[in-house]
Structure 1
Amino acid sequence: MSKNIFNTIPTKNYEEANPKINPEEFKKVVTSRRSVRVFTNTSIPENIMNECLDLALLAPNSSNLQPWEFYWVRSKDKKQELVKACLSQPAASTAAELIVCVARTNTWKQNAKKMLNLLESQGDKVPKTAIDYYKKIVPLAYTQGFLSIIGTIKKPILYIRGLKTPTPRNPVSNSDMVLWATKTCALAAENLMLALRAHSFDSCPMEGFDAQRVQKILNLPKDAYVVMVIGAGEKAPNGVYGPRIRFERSSFIKEV
Structure 2
Amino acid sequence: MDVATAIETRRAVKTYDPDHRMTEAEIEKLMSLAMLAPSAFNIQNWRFVLVRDPGLRREIRKAAWDQAQVTDASLLIVLCADTKSWEKDTPRYWRNAAQPLQDFMVPAIGQYYAGREQVQRDEAMRSCGIAAMTLMLAAKEMGYDSCPMDGFDFEAVGKLINLPQDHVITMMTAIGKATKEAWPRGGQLPMNEVVINNHF
Q: Does the Cα contact within 8 Å between 2:113 and 2:119 map onto a contact in 1?
A: no
Query: Root-mean-square deviation (CA), in Å?
Result: 1.7
TM-score between both structures, scaled by the size of structure 2 = 0.91
**Structure 1 length as normaliser, TM-score?**
0.72
1:142 is the counterpart of 2:113? yes
In the other structure, the counterpart of 2:102 is 130
Q: Per-residue displacement from partner, 1:15-62 (whole Å, max 9, x unpaired)? A: xxxxxxxxx722111111000011123222221122111100100110
- 1:245 is matched with 187
Distance 2:148 2:57 in 1: 16
CA contact (8 A) 1:66 1:108 kept: no
Q: Distance in 2 between matches of 1:186 and 1:255?
A: 24
1:219 aligns with 2:162: yes
Report the alpha carbon displacement of residue 130 of structure 1 after superposing the two structures with TM.
Answer: 3.2
What's the secondary structure of 1:72's corresponding residue? strand
Tell me how far 1:107 sits from its aligned partner.
1.7
Answer whether contact 1:97 1:233 (CA < 8 A) is retained.
yes
Letter in 1 for 2:182: V
Please give the secondary structure, in 2, of the residue aligned with 1:225: strand
Q: Aligned letter for 2:9?
A: S
For residues 97 and 176 of structure 1, do their structure 2 counterparts lie closer, same or farther at Cα, with a shift above 3 Å needed?
same
Q: Does 2:79 align with 1:101? A: yes
Higher alpha-carbon Rg: 1
Deviation at 1:92, TM superposition (A): 1.8
Equivalences for 1:1-256 in 2 at 5 Å?
A: 25-41=2-18, 42-115=20-93, 118-119=95-96, 126-134=98-106, 136-144=107-115, 173-237=116-180, 239-243=181-185, 245-256=187-198
- Equivalent pairs counted in the alignment come to 197
Output the CA distance in 1 between the equivalents of 2:91 and 2:101.
Answer: 16
For 1:16, the equivalent position in structure 2 comes to none
> Percent of counterpart pairs with the same letter?
26
State the Cα distance separating 1:70 from its structure 2 match.
0.2
- The letter for the 2-side match of 1:201 is Y
2: CA distance, partners of 1:69 / 1:48: 18
Distance 1:99 1:52 in 2: 11
Q: Distance in 2 between matches of 1:196 and 1:253?
A: 28
1:161 corresponds in structure 2 to none
- Note the residue ranges of structure 1 that are not aligned, 5 or more in a row: 1-23, 145-172
